[in-house]
Amino acid sequence: MRTSCLFHGLWVSLVLILAYGVFVSSYSADSRSSSSPDYQLGLEKAYSQYDNPPDRPLQMVFHKDALKLFTYRSNGFVEEWNMTDRSLAQTFRTNSIFSYAASVNSLVTKNVMDTVEIRSLDSSTSMTLARDFYSHSAIDPDGTLLLLSTGGRSLELWKLDAKRLARTWETHQPVRHGVAISSNGKYVAAAEGIYNSIANTHRTTVELWETTYATPRLLFNGMDDREVHGVWSMVFSPDASLIAVDSRVERQAGLTVWGTSLGNPVLQVRGLDSNWVRALAFSPGGEYLASGDEHGHLMIWSIDQQKAVWQGQAGEHAIYSITFSPDGQYVAAGIHNSTIQVWNIELPFDKRTSCRSNCAEPSKV
């Protein structure tokens, strides 16, 4: 009898171990070797992990030919890096906001007078748009629509060709964390929230609108302080069918991907070995999503396979921003030590060219 019970107990334990292994492997690339960066841009600076460096690389984007990389830092400087010789080509001074439209090679910045400017890098000319205390911006790839927010309870959508305000929306909570606009101009989104520094709790909301409607189509709420969404990053997939945000449940980092049309969860990652995922970026074809966390883990997730398929390591430094090159061959990450780390990645061909079943039809305001 005792032998039978012992055998039964060992069998149950084996089943549980196998089940746990399947669960972990589906959301982790720990079994894969972590890739070190192929090279870096900029000189490393010594900061404590508890510091907020004044030159954190908060946003990055490649030029359409992948020969240039633009980086926006927390000190208000925008850098243009030459990827051929890995040199700093030039810098721009901005104030609070940064967006880049690759197709028209133009930067959205704000001058010291709080006036939004669209600067053409080809003609070296600037177009002034509006003046306010804007703190968030997003531009569509064509450079025709610009989304702005002052951080209050409102969004503004501007048509750049006519230099006019096309639509405004009232938000559920203050736009604390950021805004996004889909590549086809059909969707806009806001990451909203309230942070209680005394209790160290977050209340967050992610709202999504179709640009032709005044009321939000989808509203994603963290249920309580144990679940938050979109504190650090929020991105649309290239075909506008998905929206991804960082998430945190029970004080452990993760990420969430929803379908934009139905609001259905497409990928949910929970329990990562970090407090926060601070950066997200979709691959050019939309099949993969890269995430970077506070422990320097750069992971690439397959949306279809529902698992991590590649992992890089940026030392023990937090990752603040990520971008893929247009051909998907390189991924760059902005690091806590003020450098930009670049990997030459090898992934299955990112061949998604058609929309998913819930993909939106292209539409402009």
The region that residue 260 occupies, defined by phi over 0 for left and psi between -120 and 50 for alpha, beta otherwise, is alpha
Query: What pTM does this model have?
Result: 0.86
* Per-residue pLDDT at 52: 87
Confidence of residue 365 (pLDDT cuts 50, 70, 90): low
Which is more confidently placed, 13 or 140?
A: 140
Q: What is the mean pLDDT of residues 91-101?
A: 91
With helix as H, strand as E and coil as C, how does 264-320 read? CEEEEEEEECCCCEEEEEECCCCCEEEEEECCCEEEEEECCCCEEEEEEECCCCCEE
Both tokens of residue 139? Answer: 């531009």
What topology does CATH give the domain 32-344? Methylamine Dehydrogenase; Chain H (2.130.10)
Query: Worst-scoring range by mean pLDDT, 24-33, 133-142, 250-259, 313-322?
Result: 24-33
Residue 132 in this model has a pLDDT that exceeds 70: yes
Helix, strand, or coil here: 8? helix
